[in-house]
């Protein structure tokens, strides 16, 4: 993870974290819909855009994101160079 050296970087990190929470909620909804029926082309495209945005945000902080498709578990988990397994990562909460 990139080192946070100033209050401005901390603010930016917290804003990105809040954005990841919003993305996680939206991805969770798409995962639930997909269990009930197929996603429309528009929904697939939006889901892919959300996944790409999550990867961009975590990449900015030198981290990886594990994106899960199963609606029973959290859709986003942050991993870094020391954490390789989903169980050890930081779960983005849905609330």
Look at the chain and report how many structural domains it folds into: 1
The reported pLDDT for the residue numbered 83 is 62
Residue 2 lies in a domain: no
| Position 1 in a domain | no
The answer to whether 54 touches 65, Cβ cutoff 8 Å, is: yes
Domain that holds residue 74: 7-91
Contact call for residues 76 and 27 (beta carbons, < 8 A) = yes
pLDDT in tens, the chain (95 residues): 788 899 999 999 999 999 999 999 999 999 999 999 999 999 999 999 999 999 999 999 988 898 988 888 888 988 876 665 566 667 777 66
User: Residue 87 has what pLDDT?
Assistant: 63
What Rg value do the Cα atoms of the chain yield, rounded? 14
Residues 6+ apart with CB under 8 A from 78: 20, 58, 63, 64, 65, 66, 89, 90, 92
pTM: 0.87
């Amino acid at each position: 993870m990139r080192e946070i050296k100033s209050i401005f970087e901390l603010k930016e990190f917290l804003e990105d974290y809040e954005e990841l929470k919003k993305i996680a909620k939206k991805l969770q909804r798409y995962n639930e819909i997909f269990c009930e029926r197929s996603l429309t082309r528009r929904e697939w495209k939006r889901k892919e855009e959300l996944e790409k945005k999550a990867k961009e945000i975590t990449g900015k902080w030198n981290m990886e994101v594990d994106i899960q498709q199963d609606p029973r578990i959290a859709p986003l988990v942050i991993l870094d160079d020391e954490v390789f397994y989903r169980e050890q990562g930081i779960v983005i909460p849905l609330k």
